[in-house]
Amino acid sequence: DAKTTQPPSMDCAEGRAANLPCNHSTISGNEYVYWYRQIHSQGPQYIIHGLKNNETNEMASLIITEDRKSSTLILPHATLRDTAVYYCIVRVANTGNQFYFGTGTSLTVIP
């Protein structure tokens, strides 16, 4: 039960911002939104997470809509090394620490 919907694939020009959308219309008030990425044949890598406020770190920015039903991961200046599958995950709260991965978005950064 992934609880999120993402486009299957996207392209982005190198140096431009990559904006990856995610719908999570059934999110509960105490559930966080997490983003991970998986570069080919490696383990998934944590990027960022948030509850309701926008968040920024050295890798990316996370924009969560006011109703929390969708979010956007922004890679401000995409590089070829950002080519990966990006997963948006809604974290189950209270009952444990499960991370359920959906199908993700395959981002290709084009030179």
Partner 1 sequence: DAGVIQSPRHEVTEMGQEVTLRCKPISGHNSLFWYRQTMMRGLELLIYFNNNVPIDDSGMPEDRFSAKMPNASFSTLKIQPSEPRDSAVYFCASTEGSFTEAFFGQGTRLTVV
The residues that touch partner 1, with contacts defined as CB under 8 A, are 32, 34, 41-46, 49, 87, 91, 93, 96-104
Of 41 and 53, nearer to partner 1 (C-beta) is: 41
Of 21 and 44, nearer to partner 1 (C-beta) is: 44
Shortest CB 87 distance to partner 1, Å: 8
Q: Which long-range contacts (CB under 8 A, 24 or more apart) does 93-100 make?
A: 93/28, 93/30, 93/31, 93/32, 94/30, 99/34, 99/36, 100/1, 100/2, 100/3
Six-digit token pair at 110? 């084009």
Identify whether the C-beta of residue 102 lies closer than 8 Å to the C-beta of residue 88.
yes
> Which amino acid, one-letter code, is at 82?
D
Shortest CB 103 distance to partner 1, Å: 6
Of 41 and 111, nearer to partner 1 (C-beta) is: 41
Shortest CB 15 distance to partner 1, Å: 28
